[in-house]
Amino acid sequence: MGVFEAVKLTEKVYWVGAIDWGIRDFHGYSTGRGSTYNAYLVLSERVTLIDTVKKPFFGEMMKRISSIIDPSQIDIIISNHSEMDHTGSLPDTIKAVKPEKVFASAMGSKALLAHFHWEDDPVEVVKTGDSVDLGGMSIAFIETRMLHWPDSMVSYLPEEKILFSQDGFGMHLASVERYDDELPLSLLEEEARKYYANILMPFSPLVKALIGNLSSMNLDIDLLCPDHGPIWRSEINWIFGKWNTWAEKKPQPKAVVIYDTMWNSTRRMAEAVIEGLTLEGISGRLMPLRASHISDIAAEVLEASALVVGSPTINGRIFPSVAECMNYLGGLKPKNLVGAAFGSYGWSGEAVGELNALLEGMKVELVSEGLRAVYVPDDEMLENSVDLGRAVGRKVMDLCRGEG
Ligand code: FEO
C-alpha cells in the first residue's frame, strides 16, 4: 500500500485528488481549514481523468492514480475549469500520460492556451449538449459560463449518476473524510457559505439560472463531485437549496458593522451602533478590521441585510484597511443592503463622505448622511450612534416585512 491511495466512489469512479492541509491563503481568501483539489478517474474503456490538481500536488495525484492503474492507460482528460488549482499540473499530466484527447470548453481552450502557451495545442473543444463516448459509458458537458470563470463547465456521467461540478458546490476544507455525511453539516454550511460569498456572490443571478437549468434537466444525481471539499451524496438537495438561498439574498434581520480605529473613538461608535441594532431585534456582527479577514467579512455580508461602516479620517482619506475591505466587498457586488457610515476625525473629516460614496456605488441604500465625531465621541455622540444603529435596524425590519 502506498502513501497516497485512490478512493473508490463507485465501481468505476475513483477520487484521485490531493489534500492541501497547510494552505491558509488561497489567492487572498483565508483558508483556515486548508483545501482539497479533487480529481476523478473514470475506469471506462477509455480511461478518463476529470480535472487535475494544483502544480505542487502533481506527485500526489499521480500516486493515487498509480494505486489503481498505470497512468499511461488514461485516454482522455477533461478540463472543466482552467484556473490553476485544477490545471497547474495539466501540462505535466499530459506529458506523463499522453492522452488521446483533452477536452475543454471553447473559452477553456483559450484560457488554457493563455496559461500554458502550448506549441502544439492539445485541447479539443466541447460545448453544451456534446457527449463523448468513453466506451461503455458516456460523458455530457454543460457549460456554466461565469460560474465562476468564462471557461467553466460541468460534466455529467449518466451511467454512474455523477455530476462533476468543478468549483460549483465546493468549499475549502481539508479532511480525510470524502463525503458530506461524514462531516458536521454546520461545518459544511460555514465553509460552503464562505466559498459562495467569496467566489460566487458576484454571479448570483447566473447561479439562480444554473440551478433552474439543472432542475429542468432532471438529471439523476447520486453523487455531486466538486473540485474542492467533500463529495455530496446525502445533502445534494440541501446544498442546491443553500446556493439558491444565497443567490436570492432575501432580507434577513442581520447586519454587519465593520470598522477600524486609531484611538478607539470609531470603535466606541461602532459598539454603540451594534447596541442600536440589537434594540431593534437585529442580529449584528461587529467585525473590527484588525481582527477580521475580508473573506470572513464577505461570508457575513452574504447573509446580512445591512452594512454599516466606520472609519477614522487619516490624511483626508478613509483608513487604509477600510478602503481595502470596501474595495473587496464592492467587487463581490452584494445585493439588497441598507447601510450607513460613521467615524471620528480631527480637523477635516472626509472619511464618512467617501464611505457614503463607496456605499452608494455598491447600491447600498443609505439610511442617513452618517455620523462624524470630532476626536472623541461624547455621550451625546454615542447616543446618536445608538440611534444610527436603530435607524438601520428599523429599515432592515421593514425590508424583512416586505415594506421597504
Ligand atoms: Fe478552484 Fe476557480 O478554481
Distance, CA of 146 to CA of 149 (rounded, Å): 4
- Asked if 27 is an active-site residue, the reply is yes
DSSP state of 55: G
Cα–Cα distances (Å) from 30 to 24, 261, 363, in that order, read: 6, 23, 26
pLDDT for the residue numbered 1: 72
Q: How many CA atoms lie within 13 A of 196 on its CB side?
A: 29
Which of 20, 75, 85, 191 is flagged as catalytic?
85
- 179 secondary structure, DSSP code: B
What is d(CA 217, CA 404) in angstroms, rounded to the nearest whole number? Answer: 36
Active site residue 83: yes
Bridge partners of residue 267, in order along the sequence: none
Averages of pLDDT over each 10 residues, the chain, 404 residues: 93 98 97 98 98 98 98 98 98 98 98 97 97 96 96 98 98 98 98 98 95 91 98 97 96 98 98 98 98 98 98 98 98 97 97 98 98 98 98 98 86
Question: What residue owns the CA closest to ligand 1's atom 2?
Answer: 83
pLDDT of residue 175: 98
- The CA R_g of the chain, rounded to the nearest whole Å, is 24
Q: What is the mean pLDDT of the chain?
A: 97
Q: How far apart are CA 32 and CA 162, in angstroms?
A: 29
CA distance 225 to 165: 6
Backbone angles phi, psi at 90, to 5 degrees: -65, -45
**Closest ligand 1 atom, residue 148 Cα:** 2
DSSP state of 320: H
What are the CA-CA distances from residue 20 to residues 49, 58, 93, 142, 260 (Å)?
Answer: 20, 12, 19, 28, 33
Q: How far apart are CA 339 and CA 332, in angstroms?
A: 16
Q: How far, in Å, CA of 222 to CA of 163, rounded?
A: 8
Residue 293 is among the residues annotated as catalytic for this protein:
no
pLDDT of residue 404: 72
Ligand 1: centre distance to CA 366 (Å): 34
Other CB atoms within 10 Å distance of the CB of residue 193 = 20
Q: Which residue has the cell 457549460?
A: 143
> Residues with Cβ within 6 A of ligand 1?
81, 83, 85-86, 148, 167, 227-228
pTM of the predicted structure, to 2 decimals:
0.97
Catalytically annotated residue among 195, 196, 259, 345: 195
122-177 pLDDT, tens digit each: 999 999 999 999 999 999 999 999 999 999 999 999 999 999 999 999 999 999 99
CA pair distance 138, 160, nearest whole angstrom: 10
Instruction: Point out the catalytic residue in the list 51, 83, 296, 300.
Output: 83
